[in-house]
Chain A
């Protein structure tokens, strides 16, 4: 029996494990008071309980145990530096800002809307927003191994499974045989390898979870950056061609063609992680061009669409989106001595949005986004 994963499987596993980094960073910044989100702790506990059962195979248990210890021990949570906590806070509130503009705009219109989080990992945003919005449908997709884990955490926790309104039968079913797929009232968790464009297309066009006419927000929070740059075009284009009215929001690193970017590439390479888009789209300008390329593509649909693109680096977002009272609160949490490093680090990440909508309707969300401050728009 050959239990060693091949190099491609190994690469995918390394990419899936980045989710634990994201989750543990979030827990660390919650513990320090930057963020509050009671679901995060539930996920951490759930993952500790279920990871080996769900993903354990002979040969990989050691690395799973190491991943848990490396990410969720008291020591590793405590030792996150203030700039990491601040950056984790910032990415979370930046995307939450977009989500809240999206949800509010549709609430004003009293229209049903949907969020699709690709590579959602152990993100808890769905629970936060579903709890207070019944006009919202939230869809999460990730690798099968990751959605199996997420499903096991949700069905194993009563509060989580009640937020997404799972029936006792559904819970029983997933507990006895994990499928990595959940369908609650307004919540869907689906396994998808995003590089399989046809699978995305099938899902978007034939699944009952998706309403192709409804306003849609697609979130890629540190996800597309792990995928071959050309393929990321195909992924975004398939969303463009299947959904009539949507916006895609990206949060990801940019290389800026400088030595910091180069060191980032080589440091992550040591962990078996490559970041193709960091080099293909190294600046906010190239991110703008990339999204423009996607949203302005003509496709076979008959409707003519309008489109807009907005991009800022995270340093700009911090300086312009975080209110003075909030930033005063943040600075009091921990002494952030590493100012130059914060500027350097935060300039190497960006937030980018591309939106498209049919010409014959108003898109209030788009106007709300345009009202925010952007470096490029």
Chain B
């Protein structure tokens, strides 16, 4: 039986976690995740985080700056894995914390929590390199299928009498033309690989943009949605904010559409190459927003173990 506190310490100290333990943690965390609904109801105060992408050391900084679990409550908006050099450790740390403190940390699925994407963007290769087989990748992919799709954060003055909303809708990508009401998301059968189209795909893939209505996404999946769609969605669901991740923002976060939507990005110096700062969104009991910015833990690429592939350029 795995000692979860010890595993958490191991990961924080960049030590190897045995495959058997990974297997057990993955199985156990599934039992917790399966009970969660597609859209989880969460109460503030909470720290909302965007993409992490295997940047374990930066995640540790994030916890240091915003309080350790369980002292602070967290919501992670997906894309835990791929691109960075420590996807395995990052994902293990997050699900270990989930297992240990299920009410203090919430995880929703990003478009990278998928078999096909992780085969292209590094997580698969990393598992193979670190464990010599694809077993660990398989265990993790099974967990991906159980992750919930979004979250709703409700303020404590639930009346919202002035007609403005009182809640934050949190999702990895964005809106879908198939989803008018948050309730509709509850009917999706989420326990599967992320499909190439349809509501579940859109929620994980779409981006806000300066478009009049729905438009084709240049990513090849999901849609672009404009201010009108956001306004409609907020109004119909009595919400005041959509918080999402999915897009690199050089300044760490970016509010759009009169503050109706925010993109939060939590991987500083993304891919050890982009030079961006990172941010988290802190939401208090009254749904006030406060952004916490932070910089990369590893300033010096020297500190990255040399067996890892270097950030690539065109030479």
Contact = CB atoms under 8 A, between A and B. Distances in A.
**A and B are interacting partners:** yes
Interface of A: 18, 21-22, 25, 75-76, 78-82, 84, 87-88, 91, 222, 253, 258-264, 266-268, 270-271, 273, 331, 334-341, 344-345, 349
Nearest to A261: B275
Nearest to B129: A75
Interface residues of B, number: 34
Interface in B65-103: none
Contact of B248 (A253, A263, A264, A344): A344
A288 B111 CA distance: 41
Contacts of A334: 120
A351 to B, nearest CB: 12
A266 B272 CA distance: 11
B276 A22 contact: no
A264 B313 contact: yes
A262 B275 contact: yes
B162 interface: no
A197 B120 CA distance: 45
A79 B122 CA distance: 7
B269 interface: yes
Contact of A340 (B112, B121, B248, B275): B248
A63 to B, nearest CB: 13
Interface of B: 111-112, 116-117, 120-122, 125, 218-221, 247-250, 269-276, 300-302, 309-315
Which of B273, B300, B312 lies at the interface centre, i.e. has the most chain A CB atoms within 10 A of its CB? Answer: B312
A267 to B, nearest CB: 5
Given A79-B122, A337-B219, A267 B117 contact: no
Looking at chain B's contact residues, the main secondary structure is loop
26 contacts: A22-B315, A76-B309, A78-B125, A79-B125, A79-B309, A84-B314, A222-B315, A258-B275, A259-B274, A260-B274, A261-B275, A264-B313, A267-B273, A267-B313, A270-B310, A331-B218, A331-B220, A335-B116, A335-B117, A335-B220, A335-B221, A337-B117, A337-B219, A339-B247, A340-B249, A349-B314
Contacts of B122: 79, 81
Contacts of A338: 248
Given A79-B125, A344-B274, A268 B117 contact: no
A268 B248 contact: no
Which of A22, A76, A81, A266 lies at the interface centre, i.e. has the most chain B CB atoms within 10 A of its CB? Answer: A81
Nearest to A270: B301
A260 B275 contact: yes
Nearest to B272: A267
Given A267-B301, A340-B247, A341-B270, A335 B120 contact: yes
A341 B314 contact: no
A88 B276 CA distance: 24
A84 B247 contact: no
A271 B310 contact: yes
Contacts of A273: 315
Nearest to A348: B313
A344 B270 CA distance: 12
B129 to A, nearest CB: 8
Contacts of B311: 263, 267
Given A267-B311, A331-B220, 14 more contacts: A22-B314, A81-B312, A84-B314, A222-B314, A259-B274, A259-B276, A263-B269, A263-B311, A267-B272, A337-B111, A337-B117, A340-B248, A344-B248, A349-B314
